[in-house]
Amino acid sequence: MKQRGVTVWFTGLSGAGKTTISKALAEKLKADGYAIEILDGDIVRENLTKGLGFSKADRDENIRRIGFVSHLLTRNGVIVLVSAISPYREIREEVRKKIGDFVEIFVNAPLAICEERDVKGLYQRARAGEIKQFTGIDDPYEPPLNPEVECRTDKEELSESLAKVIDKLQELGYIS
């Protein structure tokens, strides 16, 4: 199957549901025969960007590196699903311009909901001062101004969020 490459960039706070939606989308696209790759922020940090900290400069470099890999895959016809907090608007826009075929998904859930979902205990550790520069606590998250899709995971089921993303990808001609 000849397919058009695209980077589908899921951004939002830790615990908002980025990985959950991207995994569900990956399953659907694989089942439909699409070539896909998942770049999950946590896994990328363990491998590709090990050694980077959480300063603004390091976070930006992390996103640039994810963007570089996404660009290579996208231009070669792969649908790339990126799930990364990517808290700063400016670097997301830089990556969007570089990749071109880029669909931004704002996975939006209020901080209180994300803290309730905190399976890794990160928010609790950040509130206790054990983790510094934690997005949403003592480091900012800049929501997208014009995302192609906004998934309100505090108000909609996974199936609704997934349908919104699939509908947008179909509308833009990336999938049929």
With respect to residue 127, please indicate whether it lies within any of the assigned structural domains: no
Confidence of residue 1 (pLDDT cuts 50, 70, 90): low
- CATH, residue 73: 3.40.50.300
Q: What is the mean pLDDT of residues 81-103?
A: 97
pLDDT score of 57 more than 60: yes
With respect to residue 116, please indicate whether it lies within any of the assigned structural domains: no
With respect to residue 54, please indicate whether it lies within any of the assigned structural domains: yes
Active site residue: 14, 22, 70, 86, which one? 86
* Residue 133 tokens, joined: 């520069």
Q: How far apart are CA 91 and CA 65, in angstroms?
A: 11
With respect to residue 146, please indicate whether it lies within any of the assigned structural domains: yes
pLDDT score of 140 more than 80: yes
Q: Which domain range does residue 77 map to?
A: 6-110+142-171
Average pLDDT, rounded, for the chain: 94
Q: What is the mean pLDDT of residues 105-111?
A: 97
| Total number of domains constituting the chain | 1
86 is catalytic: yes
pTM score: 0.94
